[in-house]
């Protein structure tokens, strides 16, 4: 096992954040120039109005799609095709330092949220792109050349409200090529008000900040709400970072295949970290600021004949300030005594569900055991439930704290005692027998034969109680993780020069 140099550097950065003020979300490089003195008024910027969206028809389609038990991701937005570029729309201006600013206002009446899909995103060094509401309350960005996804584009995080500003800042003399191809008109799950609270998750759900979440504080940090675009819509599911036997912080994100069902969907993923309430009885209040965009498809095993998993690798490790965790997993062919689920019901703030009984092994939506053996059947949740948007979330073994399955679907809801089905990790492991359809090649990259691994804290090397300069503790505890980076056994001088 090894920790690469890049991960050591990342850990050092995480430690620095202890004493350096935390600048949240994608705004770490500063505010958009238009929100600072010197830019023209927003009223001087060209405004494009999108055609009306028939929300009633969309909701009717959703009701038909989301018949209980049918494994489909929850749609939250209609994706509207556009062709907006800095050469055919928007407003340019030159700032006092010679740099240039391009802005375009995009309004979609009635939208609860808006986000953009750019299939071309080529920026020079020093350039930055943002999306924000006209008042600068909701700001996502800056996005730079490093945020360009594997297909050459960018999918932005959401901005709440029915109008956003796309903003590009270029250094003097620089040029960029970008094109906005989709405007995602959000009509549910993001931005509901108190008056529309009925559209949010059921009242029986339990926020992870509640006491039921106390034994799961680490695993909670691994779970993300993800959005992605497929066809003419944008959707919600749950996913989680998972550790691997190399323990090298490779940002593998595990979810359901019925969520991420094709390689071209992965680059459109936006992962929202730590989207949760700050109080146990809150219904609102989750922050959208900690997010990242883009992933590469790695492997999947479909629900039809399989166990319904998808594994993607995020384009970058989550920002150290997000304080994420890589959950452990168990691919052994065992049955837990009791289980816990951590997920985003209806895409809302992170929740936790508990079942005090052992699951049974069945086929999907079937009661008899063992059936195909691909799924765990949860008879009923003793506390809370799952909903659309929970798909892909891990089922954790209470005894070990390890992920043993991912949610495919079921009939569970507030007000009933109906079952759910989770694709079994043991079946994910071997999948369809090839690297593109199983987890073993990716989560055991050294082919060690290990069938389970504990979780890993993203800043674990600074959270094990070692004092600064305590190299004796390092040499005895992490030597198995560092020798691939060129340090000799017992060579603590190398550590003392490298680790504060």
CA–CA gap between residue 207 and residue 209 (Å, rounded): 5
Least confident of 199-213, 259-273, 312-326, 453-467: 453-467
Tell me what pLDDT residue 478 has: 29
∠ at Cα 302 (153, 347), nearest 5°? 60
pLDDT digits (tens, 9 = 90+) for 28-42: 357 899 998 889 999
* Short-list 318, 322, 327, CA closest to 247: 327
pLDDT band for position 2 (cuts 50, 70, 90): very low
CA–CA gap between residue 250 and residue 242 (Å, rounded): 9
Least confident of 135-139, 276-280, 384-388, 495-499: 495-499
* 94 pLDDT more than 90: yes
Mean pLDDT along residues 182-192: 93
- Please list the active-site residues: 258, 308, 391
pLDDT band for position 423 (cuts 50, 70, 90): very high
* Short-list 391, 325, 294, 301, CA closest to 70: 391
Cα 201 to its chain centre, rounded Å, is: 19
pLDDT digits (tens, 9 = 90+) for 362-406: 999 999 999 999 999 999 999 999 999 999 999 999 999 999 999
Are 125 and 145 contacting, i.e. CB atoms less than 8 angstroms apart? Answer: yes
Q: For residue 63, how many other CB atoms are within 10 A of its CB?
A: 9
Per-residue tokens: 335: 């049955």
CA–CA gap between residue 273 and residue 254 (Å, rounded): 14
Percentage of the chain surpassing pLDDT 90?
A: 79
Domains of the chain (ranges, CATH numbers): 31-191 (2.60.120), 196-442 (2.40.10.10), 469-498 (no CATH)
pLDDT digits (tens, 9 = 90+) for 208-258: 999 999 999 999 999 999 999 999 999 999 999 999 999 999 999 999 999
CA–CA gap between residue 423 and residue 396 (Å, rounded): 12
**Neighbouring residues of 60: CB distance < 8 A, sequence distance ≥ 6:** none
């Amino acid at each position: 096992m090894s920790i690469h140099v890049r991960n050591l550097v990342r850990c050092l950065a995480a430690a620095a954040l202890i004493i350096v003020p935390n600048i949240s979300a994608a705004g770490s490089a500063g505010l958009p120039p238009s929100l600072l003195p010197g830019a023209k008024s927003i009223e001087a910027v060209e405004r494009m109005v999108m055609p009306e969206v028939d929300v009633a028809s969309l909701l009717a389609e959703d009701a038909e799609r989301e018949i209980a038990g049918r494994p489909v991701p929850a749609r939250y937005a209609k994706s509207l095709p556009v062709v907006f570029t800095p050469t055919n729309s928007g407003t340019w201006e030159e700032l006092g330092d010679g740099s240039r600013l391009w802005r375009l206002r995009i309004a979609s009446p009635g939208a609860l949220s808006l986000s953009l899909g750019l299939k071309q995103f080529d920026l020079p060094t020093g350039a930055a792109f943002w999306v924000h509401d006209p008042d600068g309350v909701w700001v996502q960005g800056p996005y730079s050349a490093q945020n360009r996804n594997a297909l050459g584009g960018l999918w932005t995080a959401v901005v709440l409200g029915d109008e956003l500003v796309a903003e590009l800042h270029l250094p003097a003399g620089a040029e960029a090529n970008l094109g906005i191809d989709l405007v995602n008109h959000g009509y549910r799950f993001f931005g509901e008000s108190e008056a529309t609270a009925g559209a949010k998750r059921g009242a029986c759900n339990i926020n992870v900040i509640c006491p039921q979440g106390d034994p799961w504080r680490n695993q909670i940090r691994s779970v993300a709400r993800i959005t992605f675009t497929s066809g003419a819509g944008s959707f919600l599911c749950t996913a989680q970072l998972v550790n691997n036997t190399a323990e090298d912080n490779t940002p593998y994100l595990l979810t359901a295949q019925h969520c991420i069902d094709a390689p071209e969907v992965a680059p459109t993923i936006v992962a929202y970290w730590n989207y949760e309430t700050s109080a146990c009885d809150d219904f609102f209040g989750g922050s959208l600021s900690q997010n990242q965009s883009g992933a590469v498809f790695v492997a999947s095993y479909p629900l039809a004949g399989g166990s319904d998993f998808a594994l993607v690798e995020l384009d970058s490790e989550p920002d150290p300030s997000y304080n994420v965790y890589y959950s452990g997993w168990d691919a052994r062919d065992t049955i837990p005594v009791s289980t816990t689920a951590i997920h985003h019901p209806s895409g809302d703030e992170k929740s936790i569900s508990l079942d005090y009984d052992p699951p049974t092994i069945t086929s999907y939506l079937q009661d008899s055991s063992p059936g195909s053996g691909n799924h765990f059947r949860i008879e009923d949740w003793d506390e809370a439930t799952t909903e659309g948007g929970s798909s892909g979330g891990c089922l954790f073994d209470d005894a070990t704290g390890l992920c043993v399955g991912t949610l495919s679907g079921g009939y569970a809801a507030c007000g009933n005692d109906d079952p759910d089905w989770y694709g079994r990790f043991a079946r994910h492991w071997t999948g369809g027998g090839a690297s593109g359809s199983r987890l073993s090649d990716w989560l055991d990259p050294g082919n060690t034969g290990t069938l389970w691994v504990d979780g890993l804290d993203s800043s674990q090397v600074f959270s094990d109680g070692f004092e600064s300069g305590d190299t004796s503790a390092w040499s005895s505890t992490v030597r198995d993780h560092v020798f691939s980076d060129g340090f000799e056994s017992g060579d603590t001088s190398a550590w003392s020069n490298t680790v504060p």
